[in-house]
Amino acid sequence: MTTLSIFDQSQPGVARQVTQDTAEIRELLAEQGVRFEQWPTKDLPDDASQEAILAAYHDEVESLKAECGFQTADVVSLNPDNPQKEAFRRKFLDEHTHSEDEVRFFVRGQGLFYLHFGDQVLSLMCEKNDLISVPDGTRHWFDMGPEPRFTCIRLFSNPEGWVADFTGDDIASRLPRYEAIVGEA
């Protein structure tokens, strides 16, 4: 279930607040300028092609493009049998920012976004049908877990796609990882 946990930077091992209430999640994220929505379910097979996924969510994607000025959309998918899964996970585990909003819509599976605002870190477990838009310049990182299973639509203003500026802060290493939050070994 979609879950928002809030951690204080001074006590990163224990969440001071946890909620699964969608309205509360939306409100708490909106206070930080983060967009959170849940789109209607579309019945697609786990192995649906990028074209099929983009066709199924055509109206929603085009609406976001028109509203926010996004130029491109693509689909990223990762499964536990991917031999590069550990390298992909490491790539996103360090705190970074972007010069454009980072938008992800979860078609299937789940992943954990960490958003760093001042002395607190918001950890959002996104699941199927969740859309998150992290504003440009927001310090954040993403943890897909040791056995990733997700498919996301990504929207970009920059046609070159995902470009990160790493902060060098070690905050990501001090907070619980995906396994601890989800309870996986």
Q: Which residues are annotated as a binding site for Fe(2+)?
A: 96, 98, 102, 140
Residue 66 per-residue DSSP state: H
Opening angle at CA 114, ends 108 and 120, nearest 5: 150
Contact 176, 13 (CB under 8 A): yes
Contact 122, 6 (CB under 8 A): yes
Output the known binding site for Ni(2+).
96, 98, 102, 140
Give phi and psi for 133, each to the nearest 5: -125, 105
Output the known binding site.
96, 98, 102, 140
